[in-house]
Copies of this chain bind each other. A is one copy, B any other.
Amino acid sequence: MNIGEVSERAGLPPKTIRYYEDIGLVRPLRSDNGYRAFRESDIHKLAFLGRARTLGFSIEDCRTLLDLYEDESRESAQVKSVAKEHLTAIDRKIAQLKSMRQTLSHLVDACQGDYRPDCPILEDLAKGS
């Protein structure tokens, strides 16, 4: 199967698929004409990767997860460990964004947003919190 159809079926842009091959996440065969020839297993892997990426896993995490997926002798604890670390990273990011949101929304509320130059937002930025 050529990259275009694979792209549709796996839900990933061709560019991304080529990139994943570059970094060794998938290893499609090649046809005589030089085109990539994907097997069902490749599509399956790509869909796996797409799903893992939407959950926010890094490429390296994806590599690890894919390896574990294909390792019959894996222990689920290994998978859980990767997922838990990612979860705490997500929590950190959420906390950080919420903190920004908090400050920023106060400032936005305090700003008149009219034709006059006076602005609490700029005043805050200028003198630190």
Contacts and interface: CB of A to CB of B under 8 A. Distances in A.
Central interface residue in A76, A100, A116, by most chain B CB within 10 Å: A76
Given A97-B56, A122-B65, A104 B83 contact: yes
Given A87-B101, A94-B101, A114 B79 contact: no
Dominant SS at the A interface? helix
Central interface residue in A79, A114, A118, by most chain B CB within 10 Å: A79
A125 to B, nearest CB: 5
Given A55-B104, A104-B86, A125 B74 contact: no
A50 to B, nearest CB: 8
Interface residues of A, number: 54
A126 B68 CA distance: 12
B69 A125 contact: yes
